[in-house]
Amino acid sequence: MPGLIVAVVLAGLLTVMWFAWRSRVRRDSALVVPEVPEDYVPIRSVDVLYVATTESGRPLERLAIQGLGFRARAVLAIAPSGLVLTIPGERPSFIAASTLTSVDATNVAIDRVVESDGLVRIGWSISGAPCDSYVRVVDADQRSVIADLERLLVPRPPAPTESESLS
């Protein structure tokens, strides 16, 4: 009898989790990562562990973007036009340099906590929504990967000062 109760509770929990994930997928269905351009030629590729993509500034709020929904081994390719994250079994995800907003190191995202600065956080926007993607560099020097990604950041004009905006 206790085994039956445990089985029913587990089945109920799994059902709730499945419905919650389906709801999240529907919520994020408008967020679509562009196709990789045909003329894309990477200048560097590194093996990474893809951790997650979250709402910007909310490292515990996963986005269910097609191709970026689940943690996996991946290859991060970097080119002047942007970066491509290739996860086995998924369509490659292109993040244009023009959508990048920041690159830095951190230590926590979703269910992954690592040593200080053990993850690379890539800030970007998808369909106008700001988000952060997290990867862990496997064998390469993480600082050089961050430096290569920082070179992709498009300089933004400075915000107008108060006196400029009043005139």
pLDDT at residue 160 tops 70:
no
* Predicted model pTM: 0.78
Q: What 3-state class would DSSP assign to 23?
A: helix
Amino acid at 139: D
Beta-carbon neighbour count of residue 62 at 10 Å? 22
Question: What residue ranges do the domains of the chain occupy?
Answer: 44-150
Per-residue pLDDT tens for 37-90? 999 999 999 999 999 999 998 888 888 788 888 889 999 999 999 999 999 999
Largest CA distance in the chain: 78
Classify domain 44-150 at the CATH topology level: PH-domain like (2.30.29)
Please enumerate in sequence order all residues whose Cβ is within 8 A of that of 70, keeping only pairs 6 or more positions apart, or say none.
Answer: 87
Structure token pair of residue 65: 């973007």
Within 8 A by CB and 6+ apart from 19, the residues are: none
Q: Read off the tokens for 138.
A: 């496997």
- 63 contacts 53 by C-beta, under 8 angstroms: yes
